[in-house]
């Protein structure tokens, strides 16, 4: 999973399928960045995400929680229709900070 970061406000671009295969990696990387920017804002760009299921969601939730604990804020950007629909199904749309 390519991860591009901008140093100013850490901006992670996610792409491809966020499923079981990449879930733990996503969680670990995200947690690391969250720790690095804390307290601060951490952005994840979802425009290139082609698939997400509960495994992927679990990872995002983990990062979100971890960031919060550290006083950081995880912000999800540009969620496409697939992701948006999934968030709806999972009932987590209001949980995340989505911009």
Q: Which residues bind other proteins (CB under 8 A)?
A: 17, 19-21, 51, 53-55, 57-59, 61-62, 65, 82, 85-86, 89-92, 94-95
CB of 32 to other proteins, least distance (A): 17
Question: From residue 71, how far is each of 10, 15, 40, 52, 58 by CA, in Å?
Answer: 15, 26, 7, 26, 20
Nearer to other proteins, 11 or 57 (CB): 57
CB of 98 to other proteins, least distance (A): 13
Beta-carbon neighbour count of residue 71 at 10 Å? 11
């Amino acid at each position: 999973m390519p991860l591009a970061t901008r140093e100013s406000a850490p901006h992670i671009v996610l792409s491809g399928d966020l499923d079981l295969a990449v879930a733990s990696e996503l969680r670990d990387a995200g947690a690391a960045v969250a720790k690095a920017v804390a307290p601060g804002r951490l952005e994840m760009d979802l425009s290139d995400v082609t698939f997400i299921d509960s495994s992927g969601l679990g990872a995002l939730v983990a990062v979100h929680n971890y960031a919060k604990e550290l006083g950081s804020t995880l912000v999800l950007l540009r969620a496409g229709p697939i992701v948006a629909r999934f968030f709806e199904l999972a009932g987590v749309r209001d949980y995340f900070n989505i911009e």
